[in-house]
Amino acid sequence: MPTLTRWYIKSALVYFVAALLLGFVLALPTSVTLPDAIRTMSPAYFHLFLVGWVTQMIFGVIYWMFPIITRAQPRGNERLAWLVYIFLNIGLLLRVVAEPLTWAYPDSFIGWLLPVSALLQWAAAVFFVILSWPRVKDRYRGE
């Protein structure tokens, strides 16, 4: 299993636990007093679950299991693959941090973290498609 795949899967598991914990907290009855910023973290919960758990697990398995491109570079450009991982995780973590901060300080520069986070996640997805596209082919030709 490639090192990057291990990073993806371990990160996915951490985000899965974090999403479950946040989901549990968000499901508490309103009689339980929580900071308002926590109650506004529903979008962050969905991002932790879908981007953190599901997407990272899928990316890691695809990077590992899809057919090789060539023997010299079986999974394509490894630097680009790591850039995808870094962009995806920085974008996700920015989203999780910026969500309650934007709610708490709506007139501050912090609001810009949300579009930056979205851009990083979008770039990660585009780069992942670029990286994976050559691996979706009819059959290996021994190149």
Residues 69-110 have pLDDT tens digits of 778 888 888 999 999 999 999 999 999 999 888 887 888 888
Instruction: Indicate whether 143 belongs to any domain.
Output: no
Rounded CA separation 8/85 (Å):
7
CA distances from residue 133 to 21, 32, 41, 62, 127 in whole angstroms, order as listed: 35, 48, 34, 11, 10
Torsion angle of the four alpha carbons 7, 115, 94, 2, in this order, in degrees rounded to the nearest 10: 0
Instruction: Indicate whether 91 belongs to any domain.
Output: yes
140 three-state secondary structure: coil
Instruction: Indicate whether 76 belongs to any domain.
Output: yes
Half-sphere exposure at residue 33, Cβ-oriented, CA atoms within 13 angstroms: 0
46: CB partners within 8 A, 6+ apart: none
Split into its structural domains, the chain has a count of 1
Predicted pLDDT at 139? 63
Low-confidence winner among 37-41, 107-111, 126-130 (lowest mean pLDDT): 37-41
Instruction: Indicate whether 141 belongs to any domain.
Output: no
Residue 48 DSSP class: I
Instruction: Indicate whether 140 belongs to any domain.
Output: no
Instruction: Indicate whether 66 belongs to any domain.
Output: yes
Q: From 133, 28, 47, 58, select the one nearest 90 (Cα to Cα).
A: 47
Instruction: Indicate whether 55 belongs to any domain.
Output: yes
Give the range of the structural domain holding residue 9, as residue numbers without chain letter.
3-135
Q: With a cut of 90, say whether residue 57 has pLDDT above it.
A: yes
Buried b / exposed e over 9-19, threshold 16 CB at 10 Å, is: bebbeebbebb
Predicted pLDDT at 142? 57
